[in-house]
Amino acid sequence: MVTKNVKKPKTEKPDRRKDKSNKICKGMIVNILISIYFTLRYYLDMLIDYAFSLYWDEYRQQLPNLEKKHAMLMESAVKLAEKIRKKELKSEDLVTACIERIKQVNPILNAVTDQRFEEALKEAREIDKKIEDGLPDEEFKNKPFLGVPFTAKESHAVNGMLHTLGVRARRDVRAEYDAECVRLLREAGALPLAVTNVPEINKWQETRNMVFGQTNNPYDTGRTVGGSSGGEAALHAALASPISLCSDIGGSTRMPAFYCGLYGYNPTAGHTSLKGSALRSGEDPTIASIGFVSKHPEDLAPLTKIVAGEKAGLLDLDRKVDIKDIKFYYVEDVKDLRISPVCSELKKAMHKVTSKLSKASEAPKRYSHAGFNHCFALWKHAMTRETEDFAKLLTDNHGRAYGVIELGKKLIGQSDFTLAAILKLLDEQVFPAVPPAWADQLTDSLRDDLITLLGDTGVLIFPSAPSPCRPHYTLYTGPFNFALWGIFNALKFPAVQVPVGLSAGLPLGVQLVAAPGRDALLLNVAAYLEEHLGGFTPPCAVPLNNA
């Protein structure tokens, strides 16, 4: 038998060049579609803002100018404390100036929800008498802000003060203790003066609730102050509070700081106690931190050292760093489809910052990572590890609120909650969860890459928001825009909000971000930018001789 050689059919080899070309074409098409989407969204946001600003024109009010007798309120808390210590200023006079200024601006801003003016004046007089009689240096060392008044967002418990968290079920509740951050400030000699407005349970980009209503921006009362520390930022920018105690779980300190032209500092997570803030026990790990907004970056380290307590040394906040020794990186925009594109004014503000830093150090280098294309998703996943139960807190822990039911009640005007709170409920209860394994992998990748990049001497310059403060209610069309701040909560990185002048009368700014525990870098850069770019610009006229 003769065996014939049978030829095997040729197997066609894949055309790798063709596959590569197809991938390139698909990538180009996707990028073009994304660019078209962001362009359309950019102009849609502009159209919405224009339409809403026309509506709010009728309700705008001008903030009163700062009177000469109140000129001290332009100064930093550090300088005010020094003047009290040196007997150049009486605590009673400072408290009186704050009270008078609050009474001038609060009818316009609607920032204060409760006050203790008489008690604070009494405490101030007692302090003045002790100083007049003579206090040892050790007393001033232990109480670095002796006699300086402070205000706190209402979600921080202040003994005897309303503690509603903006929730109707708690509208008559008063705190029976001090939150840990409030206690530490009192121990440092500061005097609680008032508590300020927040969105329900601190969870929205505007400061509005069904108990106290809406807080207005001092630069334009037809626009948002941000959230959740919106009452604090509005009052501080209006020159009515020397110390403003905030907190931040998704931009809650930095967002209102940006919208109100202030510095805002969110320290590395895990170094400040949340005990007594938003009904927290303070015992569970959290991505939130206690922070401050301020007109002056020199206040941020001394105040943070107080609320950090025994952990203050871990942040090394007194460390001085030469700008030329810092390596800078920047992200101009992100490609998260949920977030509006960054406007040209804020891109110019970032360029202004990078150009100034280029003259003192190496030119900032562009940075990118796929994680920044999913800022909201990574923040939302990080929030699943928080112990607070939003649905229960809305009812003051008497049952649960359900988004679908409350939405129906809202449509007929019967809900006790704002639409923002209802949307938050729907996001938690109805909308799909973020895939945990994917989110953990991408978060770890972004975190590890940034830590390697920034190291001990690196600072990332990042957009604060897609646009300056928008007209009231327009953020319902940009519900995820806060994630430009929230992503760094998810990563547990420290961040500082820095003002960079005004455009059309509205504050501009950028975020500065460092690796965990490298907070001092940010405060040094913030101080440098204040010196070279002007810092805080008040929303009203101030006396020329305010120093």
pLDDT tens digits for 254-272? 999 999 999 999 999 999 9
Assess if residue 295 is contained within a domain: yes
Same domain, yes or no: 368 and 406: no
Output the CA–CA distances (angstroms, integers) from residue 114 to 157, 194, 196, in the order listed.
12, 6, 7
Indicate whether 8 pLDDT > 60.
Answer: no
Same domain, yes or no: 454 and 501: yes
- State residue 1's pLDDT score: 45
Same domain, yes or no: 246 and 266: yes
Average pLDDT for 154-169:
98
pLDDT tens-digit profile of 383-403? 999 999 999 999 999 999 999
Indicate whether 381 pLDDT > 80.
Answer: yes
Tokens of 501: 């002048």
Same domain, yes or no: 143 and 168: yes
Note whether 264 and 292 are within 8 A (CB): yes
Determine whether 445 is an active site residue: no
Assess if residue 28 is contained within a domain: no
Among residues 228, 273, 289, 340, which one is catalytic? 228
Among residues 79, 83, 143, 153, which one is catalytic? 153
pLDDT tens-digit profile of 69-78? 999 999 999 9
Structural element, H or E, at residue 353: helix 344-358
Assess if residue 6 is contained within a domain: no
Strands (E), 262-371: 263-266, 289-294, 327-330, 365-366
Same domain, yes or no: 480 and 403: no
- State residue 28's pLDDT score: 83
Assess if residue 43 is contained within a domain: no
Same domain, yes or no: 145 and 102: yes
Cβ partners under 8 Å of residue 271, min gap 6: 289, 308, 311, 312, 314, 315
Same domain, yes or no: 309 and 179: yes
Same domain, yes or no: 66 and 141: yes
Same domain, yes or no: 272 and 174: yes
Determine whether 228 is an active site residue: yes
541: left (phi over 0), alpha (psi -120 to 50) or beta: beta
Average pLDDT for 212-231:
98
Structural element, H or E, at residue 149: strand 149-153
Note whether 290 and 306 are within 8 A (CB): no
Assess if residue 402 is contained within a domain: yes
- Where is the domain boundary, 365, 398, 427? 427
Which residues are bridge partners to 495 per DSSP? 266, 513
Determine whether 252 is an active site residue: yes
Indicate whether 7 pLDDT > 80.
Answer: no
Assess if residue 26 is contained within a domain: no
Note whether 243 and 190 are within 8 A (CB): yes
Q: How far apart are CA 540 and CA 64, in angstroms?
A: 7
Short-list 473, 474, 475, 482, CA closest to 511: 482
Indicate whether 235 pLDDT > 70.
Answer: yes
DSSP string across 467-506? SSPPBTTGGGG-TTTTHHHHHHHHHT--EEEEEEEEETTE
Short-list 263, 256, 235, CA closest to 536: 263
- State residue 30's pLDDT score: 81
Same domain, yes or no: 273 and 407: no
Output the CA–CA distances (angstroms, integers) from residue 283 to 159, 400, 430, in the order listed.
20, 23, 29
- State residue 5's pLDDT score: 53
Among residues 252, 277, 340, 415, which one is catalytic? 252
Give Rg (Cα) of the chain.
Answer: 25
Indicate whether 9 pLDDT > 70.
Answer: no
Tokens 């309700």: give the residue: 59
Q: Using DSSP bridges, classify how beta strands 495-503 and 263-266 pair: parallel, antiparallel or unpaired.
A: antiparallel
Same domain, yes or no: 287 and 166: yes
Residue 361's domain spans which residues?
Answer: 48-386+428-533
Assess if residue 538 is contained within a domain: no
Domain CATH number, residue 61: 3.90.1300.10
pLDDT tens-digit profile of 448-461? 999 999 999 999 99
Average pLDDT for 136-159:
97
Cβ partners under 8 Å of residue 489, min gap 6: 248, 249, 250, 251, 266, 269, 287, 288, 379, 382
Assess if residue 17 is contained within a domain: no
Note whether 237 and 263 are within 8 A (CB): no
Note whether 235 and 112 are within 8 A (CB): yes
- State residue 249's pLDDT score: 98
- Where is the domain boundary, 402, 427, 452? 427
pLDDT band at 184 (very low <50, low <70, confident <90, very high): very high
- Where is the domain boundary, 427, 445, 478? 427
Same domain, yes or no: 133 and 234: yes
- State residue 547's pLDDT score: 45
User: How many separate domains does the chain show?
Assistant: 2
Q: How far apart are CA 113 and CA 161, in angstroms?
A: 9
